[in-house]
Amino acid sequence: MGRTSKDKWDVYYRLAKENGWRARSAFKLLQLDEEFNLFQGVKRAVDLCAAPGSWSQVLSQKIWGQSSGQVVAVDLQAMAPLPGMIQIQGDITQLSTAKEIIQHFEGCPADLVVCNGAPDVTGLHDVDEYMQAQLLLAALNIATHVLKLGGCFVAKIFRGRDVTLLYSQLCIFFSSVLCAKPKSSRNSSIEAFAVCQGYDPPEGFIPDLTRPLLDHSYDFNQLEGPARFIVPFVACGDLSAYDSDRSYPLDLEDGSEYKYTPPTQPPIAPPYQEACRLKKNGQLAKELLPKECSINKVDNLPQPLTVPQGHTLLSPKVEDDEMNSSP
């Protein structure tokens, strides 16, 4: 938990310390559960980007304490152990980490996958939103391998201008997708949580661990089956008409010369009209030039500057070097 003065005044920060939670983010998952009943019937769960372990604490109390369930927590950092928790230290965007997670759920898929991870924010919102979207897609890729049909997936999301793209991708795999913001999440933060319920992948979908992130170098034309979707495109207008990316000569094709046609309504009081009048009367330079200008004084000198005989004019850099040199 943070130690700034802002955190000390935060009510959820104080409640987390009083109740023994490792971080104030535990209340976010608890409040999401109050709204969506996330833990109903859940016996096996995965906590991605789990450190420092506040969400794993909630899962351990709700799942292991009641039904002797199992929680697999994954993070780059090591965490203190919890009852009923299996800890994996690794990067969820790496193939080896994803395979190790999947091994714990072979033959018995998970009921719930949560991810409260976020990248180190830079302050550049576009970059932060992109990195968060990549992290969410990596968590979604793991969820498609371990989540049972009808399972639930909860992940942090940054509410940016491209949030609808992520929403449309999540709707492919879940029957219900909502964007929720718990009360414990600060209003000044753009974070929210995508609550995806009813895991139902399209027919014929085969999860692929080789592409955990949205790689722009990937050829999407190689996708097959339900994973392949082509956005409809319609070309409008006469295709043999003028090309908007081409320059055409003014003379017409029939040999006739181009004739200027004035606009139906000329500009009303154009901004350059006064400048044209001043330039025509020779007043433009006089009015724009300041009255007390050093250029005028230099131009009015009776004769140009001369160098005394036997002396040379040195640049400022050479003069400084001479002054600093030893005698």
- The predicted-structure confidence for 272-305, as pLDDT tens digits, reads as follows 677 777 778 877 655 544 554 444 444 444 455 4
Q: Which two tokens stand for residue 320?
A: 């400084």
Domain count, the chain: 1
Which pLDDT belongs to residue 217?
45
Q: What is the pLDDT of residue 110?
A: 93
Q: pLDDT at position 293, please?
A: 46
Q: Which amino acid is at 268?
A: I
Classify residue 127: in a domain, yes or no.
Answer: yes
Residue ranges making up the domain that contains 34: 23-227
HSE (side-chain half, CA atoms, 13 Å) at 285:
3
pLDDT (0 to 100) of residue 39:
92
CB atoms within 10 A of CB 296: 11
Q: Which amino acid is at 269?
A: A
> Is 183 part of the annotated catalytic residue set?
no
- Residue 320, domain member (yes or no): no
b/e per residue 157-193 (b: at least 16 CB within 10 A) = bbebeebeebeeebeebbeebeebbbebbeeeebbbb
pLDDT at 215: 45
User: Across the chain, how many H-helices and E-strands are there?
Assistant: 12, 7
pLDDT at position 283 is 73
- pTM listed for this prediction: 0.65
| CATH number for 85 | 3.40.50.150
Query: What is the model's pLDDT at position 120?
Result: 86
- Residue 153 is assigned to a structural domain of this protein: yes
Report residue 177 as tokens: 């997708």
Contacts of 202 (CB under 8 A, 6+ apart): 172, 173, 226
Distance CA 16, CA 23 (A): 6
Question: Is 132 inside a domain boundary?
Answer: yes
Parts of the chain with a pLDDT under 50: 1-2, 214-218, 220, 231, 233, 288-289, 292-302, 305, 313-327
Asked whether residue 53 is domain-assigned, the answer is yes
Catalytic residue among 28, 62, 156, 181: 156
3-class DSSP assignment, residue 67: helix
